[in-house]
Amino acid sequence: MSNYKSVTVNKGSHGWGGPLVIQPTDEKPYVISVTGGGIDPVAQKIADLTGAKVVDSFENPIPKEQTFAAVINCGGTARSGVYPKMKIPTINTVAITPAGPLAKYIKEDIFVSGVDSSNVDAGGEALEKDTSEESEPQKQDTAAATVTNNSGSSKKEETGFLKLIDVVGKVAGDFVNTFYQAGRDTIDTLIKNVLPFMAFVATLVGIINYSGIGKVLANILSPLAGNIVGLVILSIICALPFLSPILGPAGVIAAVVGTLIGQQIGTGVVPMYLALPALFAIDAQAGCDFIPVALTLGEAEPDTITSGTPAMLFSRLLTAPIAVLIAYGFSFMLR
Amino acid sequence: MDYLTTAASAFIGLFKAGGKVFMGYMTDIIPLLITAINALVSFIGEDRVNRFMSKLTKFTLLRYTLLPILGVFFFTNPMCYTAGRFLPEKYKPAYVDSCVSFLHPVTGLFPHANSAELFVFLGIASGFSKAGGDQTKLAMLYALTGIVVILIRGIVTERFSMFFFKRNGNTNILNQEMDVNDLKKTNAKEA
């Protein structure tokens, strides 16, 4: 233990998980702020209280091995799971509950959400509790291991015919289990990701249709979405390097704009064949909020992230309108 | 009193309209998210896909088409980015760009790959089919155009990253060549 102090991070209102007790060490001296707009106040406060260094992961990425905590502002599901998966304590300033493909890594002992700087307190010594909790499952694991070993040795004594039955049973079991697990995964993502979004979009569409806002929006949107020049402009706006990281998270903005344009196509205000270029116009910012995290997942070095992030942001400015034009070229097949 | 009743029923009507749209989605979309593809992916297995992918990285054409397509199809969002580890450092940003750009075009045909962000496609597609269009055709064209777009994005971003590597003096990254077949299996398992 060096001169670093520990802090306790509690969940905020409507938040989930925690409380986390975190402390930097000599090997892991950094708290990173992966929030896309400078250093988050929460990260700053953690750094102030612990004596650790705080860095903006977008500007100055550091290896995950040197990170003792990550502060994120992810309303979606991807980033919230990535850092817990890498065993880095994760503090989300947005109040979310575990969901998405990485939900199984988002546990109370490594993730806390809805946090603002008032939820960060100095001190805390839950470290001992953590270790005792860890040792218990280990014991269970070894117990389970011995059980399987026993059953394994008893199988060896079986005769050839019984072995065949055993093999057939095992294969059939694997087959059934795989499908069963796949079904479970599907229903899981359905309930946690798809249905909530459906409910949100459905309500939005219902309100727009019923209230007559739709007609007002049509007047605003149709000059932009109703012809190819407007769509190219829309794609360039979405790809502006200072806007794209803000528009990106979880595809929500793309989905909302897409739904609005879809409405206009449905009513015939926007020609049908523009559906394809429109799909690319609303998507110019896809993933721009996620570049450092995606690169970290691909085990990129910090230098790669420093150069790669602006490379991708500026490249979008060029490729976004090109994508819309290519889609426009393909759209003759829809006429 | 009448005035109040009208106001109340108008208010409830807002949400009833939402409910109607929601039920439409339930019957139209959810059957698409069948379990079969999830099962197929786990039958083929991650190891086999990893081994195949590591062989694709040498050719620009495959690096920004087949590699992201396989990554997105088999590992889905967000684990598809982990395939970036098969590439030398200098190609990683370009791979990320082409990978992330395929995450929405894929959803029309294979919603399992990014089910959380289905609505980017569905918002427009539902309007398209309402106007009398064939949604499957739109999905096909979305994926096909997507493949062309990710190839262009990959190549353009590759150029841009070379420029930024040079400007920031990361010559070690530029000169780094990696024989992908040297990748140890432990490396793959770790991720």
Are B127 and A331 in contact (CB < 8 Å)?
A: no
Active site (annotated) includes residue A74: yes
pLDDT score recorded for residue B180? 46
**Selected residues 83-112 of chain B with any CB under 8 Å from a CB in chain A:** 83-85, 87, 89-90, 92-97, 99-101, 103-105, 112
Q: Chain B residue closest to A324 (CA)?
A: B149
**Cα atoms in the 13 Å half-sphere on the side-chain side of A284:** 33
User: Strand pairing of A67-72 and A120-122?
Assistant: unpaired
Interval A4-31: pLDDT, tens: 788 888 887 767 777 888 888 888 888 8
User: B66-79 and A78-85 are packed helices; what angle lies between their axes, rounded to 10 degrees?
Assistant: 80
Choice between A17 and B163, residue whose per-residue pLDDT is larger = B163
> A217: which residues sit within 8 A by CB, 6+ positions away?
A208, A260, A263, A264
Residue B4: pLDDT over 90: no
Residues written for chain A? 335
Contact status of B121 with chain A (Cβ, < 8 Å): yes
pLDDT score recorded for residue A203? 76
Confidence tier at A142 by pLDDT (50, 70, 90): very low
DSSP labels, A34-98: ESSSS--HHHHHHHHHHT-EEEETTTS---GGGEEEEEE--SSSHHHHHHHHTT--EEESS---S
Kindly list the residues from chain A whose CB atom is less than 8 angstroms away from the CB atom of residue B104: 251, 254, 279, 283, 286
pLDDT score recorded for residue A37? 66
Structure tokens given for B149: 């777009």
Choice between A244 and A143, residue whose per-residue pLDDT is larger = A244
Choice between B188 and B145, residue whose per-residue pLDDT is larger = B145
What pTM value is reported for the model? 0.65
The arithmetic mean of pLDDT across residues A212-239, rounded, is 78
pLDDT score recorded for residue A28? 82
In chain A, % of residues over pLDDT 90? 5
In chain A, % of residues over pLDDT 70? 81
Contact status of B44 with chain A (Cβ, < 8 Å): no
pLDDT score recorded for residue B131? 86
**Whole-number mean pLDDT of chain A?**
76
Kindly list the residues from chain A whose CB atom is less than 8 angstroms away from the CB atom of residue B151: none
Residue A229: pLDDT over 60: yes
The arithmetic mean of pLDDT across residues A263-270, rounded, is 84
Contact status of B135 with chain A (Cβ, < 8 Å): no
By Cβ distance, the residue of B104, B133, B167 closest to A275 is B133
Residue B25: pLDDT over 80: no
Residue A158: pLDDT over 70: no
Kindly list the residues from chain B whose CB atom is less than 8 angstroms away from the CB atom of residue A279: 104-105, 120-121, 124, 142
| Interface predicted TM-score (ipTM) of this complex, two decimals | 0.76
Q: Tell me how close the Cα of A235 comes to any Cα of chain B, in angstroms.
A: 14
Cβ pairs A/B, distance under 8 A: 308
